[in-house]
Amino acid sequence: MGLFALPDELEALRAAARRLAETEIASHAVDADRDATFPWASFEAYRDSGLVRAIYPEHLGGDGGGALAYAVLVEEVARVCGSSSLFVLISRLGVTPIVEHASDALAGAVVPRVAVGEWQASYCLSEPEAGSDVASMTTRAIRDGDHYVLDGRKSWITNAGISDVYTVFAKTDPAAGSRGISAFVVPRDTPGFTIGKLEHKMGMRGSPTGELVLEGAVVPADHLIGAEGQGFAYAMGALDTSRPIVGAQAVGLAQGALDAAARYVTQRRQFGRAIAEFQGLQFMLADMATQVEAARTLVYRACSMVDAGGPTVSKVSAMAKLFASDTAMRVTTDAVQVLGGAGYTTEFPVERMMRDAKVTQIYEGTNQIQRVVVGRRLLDEVTT
């Protein structure tokens, strides 16, 4: 497969995803954002289309698509609705540690139901005092015979209250720092597990973000993912592979804003002609388009490396997330400017896309953390 040209099957996936997004998802985006409600009609259309299976392993009920397929799917949905792109992204992230490290029995009980859209999943790493500093988490998991008892709070959890199953990271050995973190599958109906406060957000308003409360939550011992003490490695590995997907989400938001701006300038007239004829706006659009294409290429490069299974993708994954999300913020802001006063109103989607784009610079590691990752990996390469 060439690095800069997608194979025919991925172009076919893009075409199918774009049709679905434009015909079944775009029409619900305004309501989901305005009312801060989960777009169930959009999710059900995605589930019923069969595209949900594209990004899960074949042996667990999926179609076997890799990171590039994942990126294309998220990008096309984000192009019309950022909130909906999160239900594509988060369930796959939620089960990544399960796919990669869980027992066959645990993976077989969970992943096939997510792969067909029967269940949704969440990834539960952050806490009120443990965001970028994951090792400082305080959620505990104590072994008690044939089960574990979990206590603590998780915050900023995407799909909180919507997901059916949650991958929860907790400390089984608090004295061991990051080496004392383990990972567990926690079903929504687990006694002692409840949904706490839901956040009121600037963007991605159709995707709930909230707090999980664990108060003596009991899960069977076989819900441990992999081995005790390996949760930090599992978490970081999942983020290495999903950060380019956040980049793809950012590219989709930027592309949607660019498309809206390009359409607008051909229709809006000032001084007796379409404003598309003014060179100043043409230059803005040219810069926006170039930035989007550069971001897309870096995202696809990172995804191709994930699919190739190289020894480490941390640096390029961080680069892709960093550059694409900064691009999305810049391009969506410029799109609002291109539309002028109209861009500042909810009559056009660019203000929503600008609000949605902001969080791509924050979640799955702030862009400041991405720069730390890139800098450290770069220096490691120089000194080895």
Catalogue the active-site residues: 364
Residue pair 136/103 in contact (Cβ under 8 Å)? The answer is: no
CA dihedral 147, 152, 158, 163 (to 10 degrees): 30
- d(Cα 292, Cα 213) in Å, to the nearest integer? 39
- Name the residue with tokens 């172009």: 11
Using the 8-state DSSP alphabet, how is residue 25 labeled?
Answer: I
Count the Cβ atoms, other than its own, within 10 Å of residue 219: 22
Residue pair 126/160 in contact (Cβ under 8 Å)? The answer is: no
- d(Cα 130, Cα 8) in Å, to the nearest integer? 43
Terminal C-alpha separation, the chain: 31
Count the Cβ atoms, other than its own, within 10 Å of residue 35: 11
213 strand-pairing partners: 153, 194
Residue pair 332/291 in contact (Cβ under 8 Å)? The answer is: no
DSSP alpha helices (H): ranges in the chain? 8-20, 26-35, 40-49, 67-78, 82-101, 104-115, 231-267, 279-308, 314-339, 350-358, 367-383
| Tokens at 59, concatenated | 């042996």
Burial of 208 (0-12, 13-18, 19+ CB in 10 A): buried
- d(Cα 29, Cα 300) in Å, to the nearest integer? 26
- Tell me the backbone φ, ψ of residue 202, rounded to 5 degrees: -70, -40
- d(Cα 144, Cα 150) in Å, to the nearest integer? 11
**CA 99 distance to own-chain centroid:** 17
Residue pair 29/352 in contact (Cβ under 8 Å)? The answer is: yes
